[in-house]
Chain A
Amino acid sequence: DQQVKQNSPSLSVQEGRISILNCDYTNSMFDYFLWYKKYPAEGPTFLISISSIKDKNEDGRFTVFLNKSAKHLSLHIVPSQPGDSAVYFCAARARYNAGNMLTFGGGTRLMVKP
């Protein structure tokens, strides 16, 4: 049973437009949500996070929105650039976990076309 789901395996967007990546979760004990970006042959790199007590966090071109009642979060990238082309993983941390163990979604491959 996947606790974190990214229902779109891929997304194609034109350069300069907005990219919206979606993520749904089922575990109400998650207290932190993170987005990671992964290029081929590299490990995932942290992008942006949001605490469950907030509904929005913004960092430059990246904004994450959290809708707790819907158990849904989304990552907005504006404007999208070709260098943003990568696989994006949504991840969540449960407040009862040791350390910072994360549960990952299946990933969405973003392709930004010039």
Chain B
Amino acid sequence: DTEVTQTPKHLVMGMTNKKSLKCEQHMGHRAMYWYKQKAKKPPELMFVYSYEKLSINESVPSRFSPECPNSSLLNLHLHALQPEDSALYLCASSQVRLSPGELFFGEGSRLTVL
């Protein structure tokens, strides 16, 4: 199983809603990531988890709250988002620090904030 599965594929929410994005992998990877990608822009790193602990937070606003309940799951909790947060949210996983170190990406969750 070399898949990273993300749900939902599409999400529309209002600025006062609370929702969550979910990500799952069964490759035994102990590093998991959230990236945000706006149209015609590269993916931008948001968070990195290593061994289920948050190791990198790229100055992401607190309205985005990541959670790693176990080594296979990664969530991104969303609350009080702004329309400019509309984007494709990509989850990825990898070995923690082995070469070549490629990330395996999910298909993404496309979020629209009204």
Contact = CB atoms under 8 A, between A and B. Distances in A.
Interface in B75-114: 90, 92, 94-97, 99-108
Interface of B: 4, 6, 31, 33, 40-45, 48-50, 55-56, 90, 92, 94-97, 99-108
Contacts of A106: 40-42
Contacts of B50: 98-99
A47 to B, nearest CB: 9
Contacts of A89: 42-43
A99 B97 contact: yes
6 contacts: A43-B92, A99-B33, A99-B49, A106-B40, A107-B40, A107-B42
B108 A43 contact: yes
A32 B50 CA distance: 19
A41 interface: yes
A93 B40 CA distance: 22
A43 B42 contact: no
Contact of B43 (A32, A41, A46, A104): A104
Contacts of A49: 100-102
Interface residues of A, number: 26
Given A32-B101, A100-B103, A44 B55 contact: no
A45 interface: yes
A107 B41 CA distance: 7
A66 interface: no
A77 interface: no
Interface core residue of A34, A51, A93, A98 (most chain B CB under 10 Å): A98
Interface in A14-58: 32, 34, 36, 41-46, 49, 51
A34 B105 contact: no
Contacts of B92: 43
